[in-house]
Amino acid sequence: MSSLLNLSELIPSFQSNGINLSLSRIESTIHRMGNPCKAIPAIQVIGTNGKGSIASFLESCLTNAGIKVGCTVSPHLINWCERIRINGEMICQKDFEECINNVKDYSPEEQLTPFELVIASAFNYFSINQVDLMVLEVGLGGRLDATTAHPYRPLIAIAGIGLDHCEYLGKDLKNIAAEKAAVITPGSIVISSKQHPDVQEVLLKATKKQNSKLIWVPPLSNDWELGIPGEIQKENASVAKGILEELPSIGFKVSTQDIQEGLASAKWPGRLQNTSWKNLPLILDGAHNPHAIRQLSKERSIWKEQSQGVHWIIGIQANKDAPEMLRCLLKKNDLAWLVPIPNHQSWELEDLTKACPEISSQLHKADYVEQVLETLRLKGKWPTPCPVLTGSLYLVGDMLQRLRAKTQ
């Protein structure tokens, strides 16, 4: 436990030095570090929802092909070390602490944000371990994201783009898409699944301006086995496959068999994850904005035995559009149990009932997740479909940590 505490002490909290979009700090820092990884090509993954899934599909396939790949993802669910991996193996606590301290030696005056500190540490770690290729998941936006400080990004993978983080990226789809499309480099290859028409327009203009190649890919068919559950993963996996098929342009090759096996073995916790509480089935899904909730609502449309509705255990951060999320999610006979997200400001029941009175009768309040689960268990018959915990990746991560602790 001491090493976990050390990492928390080394990485500033988001509350004290959190989202402050700029490239100047990290560019200055990695320049002083000698520009680690500058010659290593990176696949940059942008979008609103599905970035982590695409990164995980790519990492799995590349690892299967024998390519040494460094991968960054965010946020983490349980441990900061989840954010930096080589061939699926998380950086160990000791190496992470050493990388963080090394970065801080080069940036005593820069006051890097937590995300910038992690990305600079990842570059340091990947350079030391001589990876062949990198997969960099954008944290927020793209134009001013820390991953964009890497100078060699010849391949861009685009996940679904929707409304989120509007206070930083803009109030409409075109502005948000423009912030993300700004990562596109001259002559790069860009792979995207179908997007909203406003987003498509922005991507077409951006790629034309940069003389880049834009390839639209359809969802994979049911013939493909995917390790991450959900219909949306057919789109995410298709984007990953499209990127992998363009690797010869930068000197790498992944066979069709490696792609098939890699997609089938990919793992990404907290995305329609089937788990259990006291041997009773429970689904965890980190949908945390209207775009993701709409997809979750589509997923539930294929679930069986829904006449009694679905029990949603949901925590939503205060800066999210909770009324829109609940209107998208709740169907007839559904119940939503509102719980607080540990260590984060969350929507309260009173505010939500005022904001959406038409569904107020379906909203309930609980102090914590297990209180809801115990209430349902004591009724004698576990709900079908099983309860779904959603609304926040932080809430999902907290639940996973507590479930894991009970099995140890």
Q: What is the pLDDT of residue 69?
A: 98
**349 φψ region: left (φ > 0), alpha (ψ -120 to 50), beta (else):** alpha
The answer to whether residue 45 scores a pLDDT higher than 80 is: yes
The answer to whether residue 171 scores a pLDDT higher than 80 is: no
> Across residues 250-258, what is the average pLDDT?
97
- What is the Cα–Cα distance from 284 to 279, expressed in whole angstroms? 15
Q: What is the pLDDT of residue 54?
A: 97
Task: Convert 293-334 into a string of H (helix), E (strand) and C (coil).
Answer: HHHHHHHHCCCCCCCCCCEEEECCECCCCHHHHHHHHCCCCC
Q: What is the pLDDT of residue 379?
A: 93
> Across residues 15-30, what is the average pLDDT?
76
Q: What is the pLDDT of residue 4?
A: 44
The answer to whether residue 5 scores a pLDDT higher than 50 is: no
Cβ neighbors of 394 (< 8 A, separation 6 or more) are: 75, 315, 317, 341, 342, 343, 344
Whether 64 and 73 have beta carbons less than 8 Å apart is answered as no
Domains observed in the chain: 2-265 (3.40.1190.10), 273-407 (3.90.190.20)
What's the order of all strands across the beta sheet hosting 311-314?
Answer: 273-277, 280-284, 388-390, 311-314, 335-338, 363-365
> Across residues 187-202, what is the average pLDDT?
95
* DSSP string for residues in 212-272: -EEEE-PPPPTTS--SS-STTHHHHHHHHHHHHHTGGGGT----HHHHHHHHHH---TTSS
For the chain, the average pLDDT equals 92
Using pLDDT thresholds of 50, 70 and 90, give the confidence band for residue 53.
very high
The answer to whether residue 236 scores a pLDDT higher than 70 is: yes
- What is the Cα–Cα distance from 331 to 66, expressed in whole angstroms? 46
Q: What is the pLDDT of residue 2?
A: 38
> Across residues 1-19, what is the average pLDDT?
52
Q: What is the pLDDT of residue 140?
A: 77
What is the percent of the chain with per-residue pLDDT over 70, rounded to a whole number? 92
Q: What is the pLDDT of residue 8?
A: 62
Task: Give the tokens for residue 104.
Answer: 């801080």
The answer to whether residue 203 scores a pLDDT higher than 70 is: yes
Long-range contacts of 51-54 (CB under 8 A, 24+ apart): 51/137, 51/138, 51/159, 52/137, 52/268, 52/271, 53/159, 53/228, 53/232, 53/233, 53/236, 53/237, 53/266, 53/268, 53/271, 54/157, 54/159, 54/236, 54/237, 54/239, 54/240
The answer to whether residue 14 scores a pLDDT higher than 80 is: no
Q: What is the pLDDT of residue 9?
A: 65
Cβ neighbors of 379 (< 8 A, separation 6 or more) are: none
User: Minimal CA–CA distance to 115: which of 68, 157, 149?
Assistant: 149
Length of the chain (residues) = 408
Q: Which residue has the tokens 């371990």?
A: 129
> Across residues 298-323, what is the average pLDDT?
92
Q: What is the pLDDT of residue 1?
A: 34
Using pLDDT thresholds of 50, 70 and 90, give the confidence band for residue 67.
very high
Question: Model confidence over 258-269: pLDDT tens digits?
Answer: 999 999 999 999
